[in-house]
Amino acid sequence: MANAKSRTSWRTLGVMGAVLLALLLGVFSTVQWGGGQWTPKLGLDLEGGTQMVLAPQVGEGVQINEQQLSQAVDIMRARVDSQGVSEAEVATLGNNVVVAVPGEMSKQQEESLRQSSQMRFRPVLAMLPAEPEPAPTATGTPPGKASPTGKATPNGKATAKASTAPKASATPSPTRTANAVAADALQAHPAAPSPAPTPKPDLLRQPKLEEVAPGLTRITPGERNDPQKLIAYATNEAWLQAPSSLEAIQALDCAKQAKPDPTKEDPDMPVAACDLEGKVKYLLGPSVITGDQLADASSGNMTNQQGQPMPGYQVNLKMKPEARDLYRVVSQHMLGLQEPRNQLATVLDGQVVSAPYFSGVIPDGQAAISGNFTAESAQMLADQLKFGALPMSFSVQSSEQISPTVGGDQLRLGLLAGLIGLGLVVVYFLIQYRVLGLVTTASLAIVALVTYLALVLLGWHYNLRLTLAGVTGAIVAIGTTADSFIVYFERVRDEVREGRAVPSAVETGWARARRTIVISGAVNFLAALVLYLLAASNVRGFAFMLMLTTIIDLLVTFCFTHPMLHVLTDTKFFGEGHRWSGLSAESLGVDRTRYLGRGRVGRPGQARGSGGATAAGTVQDAPHIHTATPKGEQA
């Protein structure tokens, strides 16, 4: 039995060694091939970083209120946190928003912070190449040129692949599509608007509706609530005859496209936009779905019809319940249209992210945006959509590098305080537990090593940064970690005081102490978790460090401290309770005198003498103990 338990202890120690080895190899791999480093990344207060002042862009005469600024700060903070930019600071300064992040801020991060990320779904009316080409074909796409196409399947998965095959032959087909009409219009002068029809007498008292295209009036708010009327309005071919629409797509230069102003965008009117690569121009109909109708957005690998992963990345969208019927009607209506009018473009901040066509009705409101995404850009777009659009767009007023808010002396003093605290704990354990205190010292060293390696890996993978608050959390964790060892060792010593042998005391003490250790760790973890969820900025770094060290403390206690103590009890030094082992019965004040019967007691370790010595020790009279009475007699 003892050998079986020893083998179990050695296997557990092997698990702890494997964890350490895996962490070391992980850090080594990141340094060699992943651009990592051997030290943890430092936060804004220890390293400095980039500070950007953002000024809101609003329409003329529009006032910014405190609620809008507060909402913008919350969304920006969520975006920063989702990018793994730990310990960033987002605050208001007058009507401006100040964002400070550790290290250097990439251009992509800057764009993700200041853009409103207003997303709209608009039907495609026409497509033209961005570069001047020979006369377009019947579909408006020059022969041999790539046309961003895609497919939205009934299960909601959308793909947007570039097809290099010509979409039509040089000879126009008898059926004239929307692009054919657009191409002819672009080659000729813009058509004059049709004369307004003479109102009938019974309509004289009705309010005059604005004509936005030949024979088409602006949609009313009531009609917008009707999905059938909304999609019929947005895909109407009359938009291709409107001079304003044709002039917009003809004048659009993708190479010199100005940043769109979201405050001037009219969702009831068509827009001209370019794709992300600036190779294709789109004439898009009025908006039919907006970004705030999304319930969730996430990124992942592209999948085929069978759900198997494919090369590339996509952003998965899930509509809110109230928008699912609208999305179903839109897909059903556009399914019967000719290309490219069967494509629904996803427009983000004035640019077409993708324009998939429908191959079936989508009843469940789930779709996906795909294109030339990387893992990082797909995740960033998903985060922008998931956390919502900013109430306004922002422009960068200033961007500069800032120095650390905490001096190097303060950091050194903080680390020195941690070392002093650790040293005092080690000295206490050596005085209190003697050689057994070395087990505690080794356990603390392993906790420190695992914590350090974990911080390095988390900094590389999640951009976690160590701040002075995190250093404080690590110092506080020294005490909570030592508590686990004290609970365990004192329970073992209690068992020794009750007369158990050391090996038996270790097993019994562990059985009774581990529940207390787990409960204590769970309470610490929950308290730190609540603090992490409710706090912000540096306080979250303190709470995260407490959570991390609590988990590591339990790991080391279960996988190193207990099995190591069990292995040591197999040795003569600890197993027999040497006076310097920390588990000696005599040093714990245990009276080893035992009643042997018939008025005799024994003390182990005394010299043998007369009086009927036994294996237990010297037998002496014990007047304070009743002698045994022969059977049938009275005492």
Same domain, 449 and 559: yes
509 assigned to some structural domain: yes
Give the pLDDT score at 28. Answer: 92
**Contact in structure between 395 and 57 (CB atoms under 8 Å):** yes
Helices (H), 498-586: 502-534, 538-556, 562-568, 572-575
Q: Which of 550, 525, 566 is nearest to 450 (CA)?
A: 550
CA separation for the pair 54, 277 (Å, rounded): 27
The domain boundary, picked from 558, 575, 592, lies at 575
Question: In terms of C-beta density within 10 A (0-12 exposed, 13-18 middle, 19 or more buried), how is residue 44 classed?
Answer: buried
**Six token digits for residue 546:** 């407490």
CA separation for the pair 50, 145 (Å, rounded): 43
Q: Write the single-letter amino acid at 193.
A: P
147 assigned to some structural domain: yes
In eight-state DSSP terms, residue 624 is T
Same domain, 25 and 155: no
CA separation for the pair 436, 506 (Å, rounded): 12
Question: In terms of C-beta density within 10 A (0-12 exposed, 13-18 middle, 19 or more buried), how is residue 42 classed?
Answer: buried
**Six token digits for residue 144:** 């041999």
Same domain, 251 and 354: yes
Same domain, 351 and 445: no
Give the pLDDT score at 2. Answer: 53
Q: Is the four-CA dihedral 36, 42, 43, 49 of positive or negative sign?
A: negative
Helices (H), 306-395: 321-335, 375-386
Q: Kindly report the number of other CB atoms within 10 A of residue 523's CB atom.
A: 11
Q: Which of 557, 391, 539 is nearest to 16 (CA)?
A: 557
Q: What is the pTM of this model?
A: 0.57
Q: Kindly report the number of other CB atoms within 10 A of residue 597's CB atom.
A: 9
Phi, psi of 273 (to 5 degrees): -145, 160
Q: Kindly report the number of other CB atoms within 10 A of residue 210's CB atom.
A: 9
The domain boundary, picked from 350, 368, 402, lies at 402
Same domain, 413 and 539: yes
CA separation for the pair 67, 350 (Å, rounded): 26
The domain boundary, picked from 520, 547, 575, lies at 575
- Cis peptide bond upstream of 340, omega within 30: yes
In eight-state DSSP terms, residue 406 is S
Q: Which domain holds residue 453?
A: 2-41+406-575
- Cross-strand bridge partners of residue 345: 122
Same domain, 500 and 562: yes
Q: Is the four-CA dihedral 142, 144, 146, 147 of positive or negative sign?
A: positive
Same domain, 373 and 511: no
602 assigned to some structural domain: no
Domain count, the chain: 3
Same domain, 227 and 328: yes
Q: What's the CATH number where 99 sits? A: 3.30.70.3400
Give the pLDDT score at 523. Answer: 92
Query: What does each C-alpha distance from 516 to 368, 510, 512 come to in angstroms?
Result: 49, 10, 8
625 assigned to some structural domain: no
Same domain, 427 and 327: no
Same domain, 462 and 328: no
β-pairing, 357-358 vs 151-152, is parallel
| 297 Cβ neighbours under 8 A, 6+ residues apart | 315, 316, 317, 318, 381, 382, 383, 385, 386
8 assigned to some structural domain: yes
- Cross-strand bridge partners of residue 271: 284
What are all long-range contacts of 263-268, with beta carbons under 8 Å and residues at least 24 apart?
263/57, 263/58, 263/59, 263/62, 263/392, 263/393, 264/59, 265/118, 265/350, 267/120, 268/212, 268/218, 268/219
| 372 Cβ neighbours under 8 A, 6+ residues apart | 276, 277
Give the pLDDT score at 262. Answer: 59
| 633 Cβ neighbours under 8 A, 6+ residues apart | none
Query: E-strand spans in 244-374?
Result: 271-274, 280-284, 289-290, 294-303, 309-319, 344-348, 351-354, 357-358, 366-370
Query: E-strand spans in 131-243?
Result: 147-148, 151-152, 158-159, 162-163, 211-213, 216-217
Give the pLDDT score at 502. Answer: 83
Helices (H), 347-407: 375-386
221 assigned to some structural domain: yes
492 assigned to some structural domain: yes
Same domain, 93 and 124: no
Same domain, 318 and 367: yes
**Six token digits for residue 398:** 């200033």
Of the chain, the end-to-end C-alpha distance in Å amounts to 45
Phi, psi of 33 (to 5 degrees): -125, -10
**Contact in structure between 43 and 466 (CB atoms under 8 Å):** yes
Q: What is the mean pLDDT, run by run of 10 residues, along the chain of 635 residues?
A: 73 91 92 86 78 78 76 76 67 84 73 68 87 49 39 43 32 36 44 45 53 87 89 89 84 75 76 85 89 81 78 84 89 86 83 79 80 77 69 76 69 78 84 85 90 89 80 82 86 83 86 90 92 78 89 92 87 78 69 59 49 42 42 43
Strand arrangement of the beta sheet that strand 618-621 belongs to = 594-597, 600-603, 618-621
**Helix (H) or strand (E) run with residue 429 in it:** helix 408-433
Query: What does each C-alpha distance from 223 to 61, 245, 288, 469 come to in angstroms?
Result: 30, 22, 12, 56
609 assigned to some structural domain: no
Give the pLDDT score at 623. Answer: 43
**Six token digits for residue 99:** 């964002």
- Cross-strand bridge partners of residue 93: 96
Position of tokens 């306080």? 539
